[in-house]
Structure 1
Amino acid sequence: MGTPTAPVAPAVETSEVLDYRHYGTLEEIYHRELIRLAAVGVADPEVTSTGGNCYALTGDAGYAPDGRSIYLLAATNGDPALTTGGPITSWAVGLYEMQGDSVALAMGEASVDALGDSPDALGCAATRARTALHQYTGGAPAGKVALIGDQGLTWIPA
């Protein structure tokens, strides 16, 4: 029979970035948002790791005007990944030629304050990103990408 060990204090989270231990609950946390992505035509929406212990919502967003398949990546509150520790205030959606691309073809953003609900803001951001891709990609200034947000169209560095 061994000597009993002293109880250990629970670990204190020190980062807002979600870690892999929460992966099983991320799909539950973002269930309504995943349903909303499917409702706006994103095939196979899911929570996925983007590397570096970060997660985002992703899916097949359809096709670019030239027929290329487009990959969707969505994150919250202006961060490059889903975060915890506070309410969702906004969604950013980037459309990419393929998974792992670092330069978006088009972007869409929407604030929860303007739309009242996280799934609605996410759906709006996805629709804005598609609109930016289909209406503005051909006319983008050199080195710029179209972003449609609550304030309208802006050009951001590619």
Structure 2
Amino acid sequence: MRTATASAAPIVGTSELLDYRHYGTLEENYAHELDRLAEAGVADPEVTSTGGNCYALTGNPGRTADGRSIYLLATTNGDPALTTNTPITSWVVGLYEDQGDSVALAMGEASVEALGDSPDALGCAITRACTALHQYAGSAPDGKTALIGDQGLTWIPA
């Protein structure tokens, strides 16, 4: 004969709010940012795995001046990947010749603090990356990549 299982204690309500970003899919969590990528002319925006349990926003932002297709990779807070448990403070957008390249052709960065909203900062970072590509990539010093951020143009190691 089986013995009765003790009943569980009732759940006590708390006044803490749940952070629902932890409970949605990445596409749901970054829906506004994906919409912003599309508004900025980025074709096929999506959340994709970059390996090692890392994710980024990606898409095709157009072509280089000589007609080559370019690949966009966007991450937050200077990290190599999107995180859902940390408030977004900035976006970094890299433009690459091919998916999987480790050296960006050009980069753009924008802080949420300066622009007030994550999709706005992402849009600004895209514009800055495209500007860096079209205006400065051809004149980059050897081993350097153009980065336009809140402080203006800087050359970073490639």
Please confirm whether the aligned pair reaches a TM-score higher than 0.5, indicating the same fold: yes
Partner of 1:67: 67
Q: Structure 1 residues 113 and 142, CA, compared in 2 at 3 Å: closer, same or farther?
A: same
| Equivalent pairs, count | 144
**Deviation digits for residues 84-133 of structure 1, max 9, x if unmatched?**
32210000000000100000000000000000000000000011000000
Opposite residue 93 of structure 1, the aligned amino acid is V
Partner of 1:93: 93
Opposite residue 113 of structure 2, the aligned amino acid is D
Partner of 1:14: none
SS of 1:131 mapped into structure 2: helix
Partner of 2:27: 27
Query: Given the two structures, how large is their TM-score scaled by the length of structure 2?
Result: 0.85
SS of 1:147 mapped into structure 2: strand
Partner of 1:44: 44
**Deviation digits for residues 12-71 of structure 1, max 9, x if unmatched?**
xxxxxxxxxx89610000000000000011000000000111000000010011111000
Partner of 1:157: 157
Q: CA RMSD in A?
A: 2.2
Query: Given the two structures, how large is their TM-score scaled by the length of structure 1?
Result: 0.85
User: Bigger CA drift: 106-115 or 23-32?
Assistant: 23-32
Q: Note the residue ranges of structure 1 that are not aligned, 5 or more in a row.
A: 8-21
Alignment pair present for 1:82 and 2:82: yes
Identity of aligned residues (%): 82
Alignment partners' CA distance in 2, 1:78 and 1:3? 56
- The structure that has the greater radius of gyration is 2
SS of 1:130 mapped into structure 2: helix
SS of 2:65 mapped into structure 1: coil
Partner of 1:131: 131
Partner of 2:16: none
